[in-house]
Amino acid sequence: LGGSISRALQQMSNATIIDEKVLNDCLNEITRALLQSDVQFKLVRDMQTNIKKIVNLDDLAAGHNKRKIIQQAVFNELCTILDPGKPAFTPKKGKPSVVMFVGLQGSGKTTTCTKYAYYHQKKGYKPALVCADTFRAGAFDQLKQNATKAKIPFYGSYTESDPVRIAVEGVERFKKENCDLIIVDTSGRHKQEAALFEEMRQVSEATKPDLVLFVMDSSIGQAAFDQAQAFKQSVPVGAVIITKMDGHAKGGGALSAVAATKSPVIFIGTGEHMDEFEIFDVKPFVSRLLGMGDWSGFMDKIQEVVPMDQQPELLQKLSEGNFTLRIMYEQFQNILKMGPIGQVFSMLPGFSQELMPKGQEKESQTKIKRYMTMMDSMTNEELDSSNPKIMNESRIMRIARGCGRPIRDVMDMLEEYKRLAKVWSKMKGLKIPKKGDMSAL
Ligand code: GDP
Ligand code: MG
């Protein structure tokens, strides 16, 4: 996919006469690529029409940065599609909120419920899980197991067959227990059936959720729009979570889900484990969709930020897939040198919202400095190892003692490292441009 887009853009910049035909050819290539990423046909067609309106042929003909003009236009257009214009409901601490999960069987609801609960628990909420899936045998056991592992209170029944009743009982119980995030897991079916939607409607009416979350498997392809729309027609869907983004699917269905529900994507699932869960970030997602690998924009920026003489070395290391703690340390140094940050690393997942939320630059800097202090207590072996497993308990305790910070903080820092390493591992095998030839990317 990335290849075909780069090829299309390459053709574009090689053409000496820019006319409408060249623009069309280029857009057709991109269209094909987006369809392969499961972006809905109608959305792609609309985007194509919009791009033609936006991209000024005279600008292209004038010769400056043709590749960038078209790429940027496509990129912006896709970002716009993913922004429905109103933020999703966010639960408030200390005030009971009910969040109902809906989606087809196998989409990842039960797994994602726990991830969502665990995520908020770490942020200081008091979550609880209610299993209103009476359709699938073993549903309650699955939820119970997950909840127990995360030490989250749960409610369900092996004998009661009425999902509405369980949902209502569970919500009432946890409201009494002063939980502020009551999560209702529901059943799914293999197919979209009237009975499923009727059940969802009833559970929703009985529990009056503050938020209905639609969970969608990233690999469902072109079916995304109809599926999302069907749920939206029976319950007031207010946000979307896309699961299994660790697989092969690029998740173009997310655009359909947003278009069909008029609600934003708020999280993505990136694995089966409880902490494989990320805040959804539009720009890196679109880059991935276009096969740009978060890379082209980053390359433009890195030139402004990383001292020129350090670039080839850094890129070389990253392309080898060795994201060590030392590289993280060096990146932190660069970030701090830059003063106000944000834009550069917001091009990359991992470096963006979690570590440096918008509007909290000061807090982010403090955090980065704290991380660096802890890393100053690490040995060279630890800093240069690309195997996170060497960081065992005794090493962690030694570092905590060395820098005078609680063990929890050291573990936070290592978690941050693991998350970044995972993101950067995708850069492995990247072709490195020769020195002085950065603009070729
Ligand atoms: P439900 O039927 O909607 O409740 O779906 P489940 O939560 O039971 O998930 C179905 C399967 O998908 C399980 O095997 C999960 O482990 C798996 N799963 C869920 N989310 C993810 C994810 O983000 N990545 C991967 N790789 N697997 C996932
Ligand atoms: Mg389930």
The atom of ligand 1 lying closest to the CA of 105 is 2
Q: Assess whether pLDDT exceeds 70 at residue 18.
A: no
Could you confirm whether domain 97-282 is CATH 3.40.50.300? yes
Within 13 A of 79's CA, how many CA atoms are on the CB side? 12
Q: What is the pLDDT of residue 13?
A: 53
Mean pLDDT of all residues in 16-31: 69
Q: Which residues pair with 181 in a beta bridge?
A: 97, 127
Strands in 211-217's sheet, in edge-to-edge order, are: 154-155, 127-132, 181-186, 97-102, 211-217, 237-243, 265-269, 277-279
Q: Is 221 in the pocket of ligand 1 (CB under 6 A)?
A: no
Q: Between these two residues, 393 and 430, which has the higher pLDDT value?
A: 393
Q: Is 105 in the pocket of ligand 1 (CB under 6 A)?
A: yes
Q: What is the pLDDT of residue 112?
A: 98
Q: Between these two residues, 125 and 10, which has the higher pLDDT value?
A: 125
Residues 30-84 pLDDT 10s: 787 788 788 888 999 888 888 888 877 666 666 555 656 777 788 888 899 999 8
Q: Is 146 in the pocket of ligand 1 (CB under 6 A)?
A: no
Q: Assess whether pLDDT exceeds 90 at residue 432.
A: no
Q: Is 270 in the pocket of ligand 1 (CB under 6 A)?
A: yes
Q: Between these two residues, 367 and 165, which has the higher pLDDT value?
A: 165
Q: Between these two residues, 14 and 136, which has the higher pLDDT value?
A: 136
Q: Which of 101, 102, 111 to mutate to test the pocket of ligand 1 (most atoms within 8 A of CB)?
A: 111
What is the residue with the minimal CA distance to atom 16 of ligand 1? Answer: 272
Q: Say how many Å lie between the CA of residue 196 and the centre of ligand 1.
A: 19
Q: What is the pLDDT of residue 131?
A: 97
Q: Assess whether pLDDT exceeds 60 at residue 208.
A: yes
Q: What is the pLDDT of residue 59?
A: 66
The atom of ligand 1 lying closest to the CA of 276 is 23
Could you say which ligand is closest to the alpha carbon of residue 137? 2
- Say which residues have a Cβ less than 8 Å from residue 164's Cβ, sequence separation at least 6: 132, 199, 202, 203, 206
Q: Is 108 in the pocket of ligand 1 (CB under 6 A)?
A: yes
Q: Which of 105, 272, 273, 277 to mutate to test the pocket of ligand 1 (most atoms within 8 A of CB)?
A: 272
Mean pLDDT of all residues in 392-401: 94
* Cα gap 269→280, rounded to integer Å: 9
Going from N- to C-terminal start, the domains of the chain cover 2-81, 97-282, 294-427
Q: Say how many Å lie between the CA of residue 280 and the centre of ligand 2.
A: 22
Over the chain, what is the mean pLDDT?
Answer: 82
Q: Is 246 in the pocket of ligand 1 (CB under 6 A)?
A: yes
CATH superfamily, domain 2-81, is: SRP54, nucleotide-binding domain (1.20.120.140)
Q: Assess whether pLDDT exceeds 80 at residue 334.
A: no
What is the residue with the minimal CA distance to atom 13 of ligand 1? Answer: 108
Q: Is 271 in the pocket of ligand 1 (CB under 6 A)?
A: yes
Q: Sorting pLDDT into bands at 50, 70 and 90, what band is 170? A: very high
* Cα gap 72→74, rounded to integer Å: 6
ipTM above 0.90, yes or no: yes
Least confident of 280-284, 297-301, 367-371: 297-301
Q: So what CATH class is 294-427?
A: mainly alpha
- For residue 112, give Cα distances in angstroms to 116, 204, 286: 6, 19, 22
Residues 266-297 pLDDT 10s: 999 989 999 899 999 888 788 777 765 444 44
Q: Say how many Å lie between the CA of residue 115 and the centre of ligand 1.
A: 11
Q: Say how many Å lie between the CA of residue 84 and the centre of ligand 2.
A: 28
Q: What are phi and psi of 161, to 5 degrees?
A: -105, 0
- For residue 423, give Cα distances in angstroms to 139, 289, 310, 315: 33, 15, 21, 15
Least confident of 16-20, 249-253, 364-368, 383-387: 16-20
Q: Assess whether pLDDT exceeds 70 at residue 17.
A: no
2-81 and 97-282 have identical folds: no
Q: What is the pLDDT of residue 281?
A: 87
